[in-house]
Amino acid sequence: MKISLTINYKKHKFDLPVNRTLSELLRSQGFWSVKQGCVAGDCGNCTVILDGRAVNSCIMLAVQADAMHVETFEHIDMATEFAPLKEVLMDFGDIDCGYCMPGMMMAMKALLVKIPDPTEEEILDALAGSVCRCTSSVKPVAAISEALRLMRGKW
Amino acid sequence: MLSNLKAYFRPKSIPEALALLEKNSGAILVVAGGTKLLQIQNNIVQELVDITALGLNYIRESSSEIRLGATTPLQYLVDSATAGGMLAEAARLSDRSTMIRNVSTVGGQLISTTPLSPLYCAFLALQAQVRIAGGSEFALAMNIFLNKKGLEGGLLVEVIVPKTKPTTFSAIAPIQSNGQHPLICACTRITFMNSTCSEAKLAITGTQKVPQRLHAVETFLEGKKLNEANVAAAADIACEMYHPISDAMASEEYRNEVARVVVKRTLRDCLEQFEDNLESQT
């Protein structure tokens, strides 16, 4: 089936089998930040932003995203958009393997676009579908809350 | 995953969608968010009819009701000031992940997920109706829809929630589990008249395989003051009249005790809202 998709602000056309998931398509195009963790919508490691909303790309067919805009972690500039986050994550001892981080960053970006100054509760809610198996979700949430405090006013 | 899927249709109108569903056999499915379909590894389905282009993504308010389009994502309800209160909270509890709620739809909660969804429970307590297109359009009360096996070739297009009176207050109380839905969840709607409960609607999910309306509790509460003794008595009735299921998630005894707690919580919450409302008026 033929579809058109805008990925990170670049237009693409694909002819693909209808059962291809969005995460499979993105990875086949070299967007390796889209991790295939549980492939059941439980871990959030495949999170991308689809037309402004964070979604699990592993439980969505690529054809469902026809004519939409997908944003992946490759498009995020950590040096500018999330400047203090890298240091804060290291300070909090948050990153072990880093597998969950792209998905978490995409969930966080979708939250910030919607709510520039989120509360702790809103951060917890936004990251509830993102699982970090190394550190539990306590450290990532604490680190992201601290980074948001430092970034206040930037979004 | 969907290894036998051969075709995917995205009709632009309801008649077009119904025609596609009518001409095909059992190997065709309706899809909106598609989260459940992809999770269950369905290798039977051969064709999908995507209904997201039918214009059913809306929350519309009139003086007497709120209409929720079948393909409205749950997160829209969570964020909506119109839906608000119990509906928004029930939508939030229906899946803990925002990523899923951004895609999973109101119609999907009623059709493709287990009836343990808190949203189903809230719709029961709010006496919602579902509107089904197909042949001639018709509406079904939520409790009748719940007991039907299928849509008989029709297409669920919207859920209609009647608006409540200014003296009506609603509350939801979940007992969360690690799973997708709360283990037990109660939804209550109480209408007060001079500090007395004039109408009560209660529903609970997680005690049986499908959500239950607690009719005996409703009858007991109507005409009574919502004091602590009556709240406790109502919770006792909820436990005595309805024998919970027992499974790997929780025993009958545990569910019974939890049902008592959540029923009490919703009743107290409704009373608090009523008293706060009285205070704010004086």
The mean per-residue pLDDT over the stretch B37-55 comes to 87
pLDDT at B85: 86
Which of B37-46, B88-97, B188-197, B229-238 is predicted with the least confidence, judged by mean pLDDT? B37-46
Does the residue A118 lie in any domain? yes
What is the DSSP secondary structure assignment for residue B24, as one 8-state letter?
S
Domains and CATH numbers, chain B: 7-50 (3.30.43), 59-162 (3.30.465.10), 168-281 (3.30.390.50)
Cβ-Cβ contacts under 8 Å, A59 against chain B: 34-35, 38-39, 103
Say how far apart CA A115 and CA A118 lie, in whole Å: 6
CATH of the domain at A121: 1.10.150.120
Instruction: Tell me whether residues B39 and A53 touch, CB distance under 8 A.
Output: no
Does the residue A139 lie in any domain? yes
Based on the fold, state whether residues A89 and A145 are members of the same structural domain: yes
Q: Which of A56, A70, A100 is best to mutate for the B interface (most B CBs within 10 A)?
A: A56
CATH of the domain at A29: 3.10.20.30
Q: Which of A40, A75, A110 is the last residue of a domain?
A: A75
Instruction: Tell me whether residues A44 and B7 touch, CB distance under 8 A.
Output: no
Q: Which of A75, A93, A116 is the last residue of a domain?
A: A75
Min Cα separation A5/chain B (Å): 16
Does the residue A80 lie in any domain? no
**Strand order across the beta sheet in which B28-31 lies:** B7-9, B47-50, B28-31
Does the residue A122 lie in any domain? yes
Does the residue A55 lie in any domain? yes
Based on the fold, state whether residues A55 and A95 are members of the same structural domain: no
- For residue B270, give Cα distances in angstroms to A131, A135, B263, B266: 35, 40, 11, 6
Q: Which of A48, A75, A102 is the last residue of a domain?
A: A75
What pLDDT band is residue B38 in, cutting at 50, 70 and 90?
confident
Does the residue A19 lie in any domain? yes
Say how far apart CA B143 and CA B151 lie, in whole Å: 14
Q: Residues 66-125, chain A: which have Cβ within 8 Å of B?
A: 66, 107, 110-111, 125
Q: Which of B190, B133, B127, B188 is nearest to B158 (CA)?
A: B133
Q: Give the domain range for residue A121.
A: 85-151
Q: What is the DSSP string of B229-252?
A: HHHHHHHHHHHHHS-----SS--H
Based on the fold, state whether residues A113 and A70 are members of the same structural domain: no
What is the share, in percent, of chain B residues with pLDDT greater than 90?
57
Domain count, chain A: 2
Q: What is the model's pTM?
A: 0.92
pLDDT at B162: 93
Cβ-Cβ contacts under 8 Å, B75 against chain A: 53
Does the residue A15 lie in any domain? yes
* ipTM score assigned to the predicted complex: 0.92
Based on the fold, state whether residues A68 and A94 are members of the same structural domain: no
Say how far apart CA B99 and CA A108 lie, in whole Å: 11
- Answer with the residue of higher pLDDT: A153 or B119: B119
A41-87 residue pLDDT tens: 889 999 999 999 999 999 999 999 999 999 999 998 877 777 777 77
In contact, B256 and B235? CB cutoff 8 Å? no
pLDDT at B148: 67
Based on the fold, state whether residues A7 and A69 are members of the same structural domain: yes
Based on the fold, state whether residues A101 and A67 are members of the same structural domain: no
Based on the fold, state whether residues A32 and A11 are members of the same structural domain: yes
Q: Number of A to B CB contacts under 8 A, please give it.
A: 78
Based on the fold, state whether residues A125 and A69 are members of the same structural domain: no
- Answer with the residue of higher pLDDT: B104 or B134: B104
Does the residue A35 lie in any domain? yes
- Which of A19, A61, A126 has its CB closest to that of B98? A126
Based on the fold, state whether residues A55 and A90 are members of the same structural domain: no
Based on the fold, state whether residues A26 and A89 are members of the same structural domain: no
User: Does residue B153 surpass a pLDDT of 60?
Assistant: yes
Q: Which of B4, B99, B181 is best to mutate for the A interface (most A CBs within 10 A)?
A: B99
Based on the fold, state whether residues A59 and A95 are members of the same structural domain: no
A118-148 residue pLDDT tens: 888 888 889 888 888 888 778 877 888 888 7
Based on the fold, state whether residues A69 and A15 are members of the same structural domain: yes
How many CB atoms are closer than 10 A to CB B13? Answer: 11
A21 touching chain B per CB within 8 A: yes
